[in-house]
Structure 1
């Protein structure tokens, strides 16, 4: 499954796109876009902090690990920018808890407030 994560600053969110393929054995495929928006992670930037507020994966694409791929890419992008993360979104917060190598993105004095 081919995916792509991009930052969409105009909508303050990271977006994950999935490649769309015709069904195997389909004799006539409907016109399809090469990629389709599968989900997003909303954020708000204030100074040197990025507050993640909501993450959503389209139910049609659920159960494929796309939320984790989206979170991983978004947090890597934030790290590259040298910004801190405030995981108000429970999905982002839980993902960080399961991947302790990302806890350092959350300011040390705020980790207890997020259960990290």
Structure 2
């Protein structure tokens, strides 16, 4: 596990965890600017099955959320894993914005457009 790294891949709107350069997990988001400040809607987090149980999703979430806060964006937790992670890590609470219908409509529209494109 010494070759594990986390990187931000803004072109694909995701944070990735890599093992020896191979992507083995990701925390995917959409940028949303309909609020008072920039916001990141986290909607999917996954770690490849063979890497499960090693705490990698938590490591990925920590890096993704820390980077989001450092960038001055708020966290919108749609992803079930991110919601659960935030419940256990109150240090992020000042940077979390509750999910609103507008967030879900934006996300649905953006993902539908991507699927068609």
Q: CA-to-partner distance for each residue in 1:56-92, whole Å, 9 max, x for gaps?
A: 0000111100000000000000011011000000000
Partner of 2:68: 78
Number of residues paired by the alignment?
96
Partner of 1:14: 15
2:29 aligned to 32, 43, 58, which one? 43
Larger radius of gyration: 1
Q: Residue 78 of structure 1: SS of its match in structure 2?
A: helix
* Cα distance between partner residues in 2 of 1:63 and 1:36: 18
Structure 1 residues not aligned, in runs of 5+ = 19-33
* Cα distance between partner residues in 1 of 2:58 and 2:100: 23
CA distance 1:12–1:94, change in 2 (3 Å):
same
Structure 2 residues not aligned, in runs of 5+ = 102-117
* Cα distance between partner residues in 2 of 1:9 and 1:95: 22
Partner of 1:99: 89
Runs in 1 of length 4+ with deviation above 4 angstroms?
none
RMSD across aligned C-alpha pairs, in angstroms?
Answer: 1.8
Higher helix share: 2
**TM-score, normalization by structure 2:** 0.76
